[in-house]
Each structure stands twice: as C-alpha cells, then as structure tokens.
Amino acid sequence: MRLFWAGMIFGAGYVLGRPEGRAKLAELSKRPEVTQLRQRATSTVCSGAKTGQQQLAHAAHTVNDKASEKLPSRTASGSGAVTEPADARRGLRLPSFPRRGARPDTSTMPAVGPVETAT
C-alpha cells in the first residue's frame, strides 16, 4: 500500500510540475462539483471548530466550578481572611520542575554506594 501511495505522490508531482498539468488542474478546479466539495469541507471544518470551542468553554467552566468549590471560604466581613488552614489549599498547586540548565554538577556530589554496618 505504501508503494501505491508513493507512486500516486510521484505522479501528482510530475503532473503538477508540467505546464499542461497545471492548466488541467486549474480547469478542473473551476468545475461545480469541486466548488461544492470545497464549500462542504469549509462548512464541516467551521462547524467542527465551533463545536470544539463550545466543548472547551464548557470544560473550562466545569473546571472553574470545581476549583471554586474546593477553595476555602472567605469570612463574612469581606476581609479576605481564610477560614481553612493553608495546607488545605496545597492540593490545588501545580507541580514545579527544575529548569533544564539548572542541574548540579555530578562531580561534586558524593557517590552513593552500599553502606557497611558493623556487626
């Protein structure tokens, strides 16, 4: 099957590389069937993009709702004082990873080996 596709790609490149082939392609692209297919493909892509945006907005809204339920409540005075301990919020933080360039030099670190114990 790969050989078939390679042949098709080679043939298409050959046809499009010649002036007669480019003229024939321009002629075929003006046919009503091609225009209709192009419009249908455009509308399919647009509707898919809109559906994706709606799903993303719904998912973001759901995540925001769940996150706001987990956040500690504020006091009635509006002072912003947190009524729950800070440890309760620790689960909402993203993990942090060291930067790629900030690695310690391995030659200065002591070698880790088996520990001998006196018996």
CA 113, CA 78: separation in Å to the nearest integer?
A: 57
CA 72, CA 90: separation in Å to the nearest integer?
A: 11
Could you report the per-residue pLDDT of 40-95, keeping only the tens digit for each? 999 999 999 999 999 999 999 888 888 877 766 655 555 555 555 555 555 677 77
CA distances (Å), origin 102, targets 41, 93, 107, 116: 48, 22, 15, 33
What is the pLDDT at residue 80?
52
Residue 109 lies in a domain: no
What is the pLDDT at residue 85?
56
CA 41, CA 111: separation in Å to the nearest integer?
A: 62
Residue 13 lies in a domain: yes
pTM summary value: 0.39
Asked whether the predicted pLDDT for residue 111 surpasses 90, the reply is no
Domain that holds residue 65: 32-69
Provide the pLDDT confidence category of residue 97 given band limits of 50, 70 and 90: confident
What is the pLDDT at residue 37?
93
Same domain, 36 and 64: yes
Residue 37 lies in a domain: yes
CA 82, CA 73: separation in Å to the nearest integer?
A: 7
Same domain, 24 and 42: no
Q: What is the mean pLDDT of the chain?
A: 79
User: What mean pLDDT do residues 87-110 have?
Assistant: 65
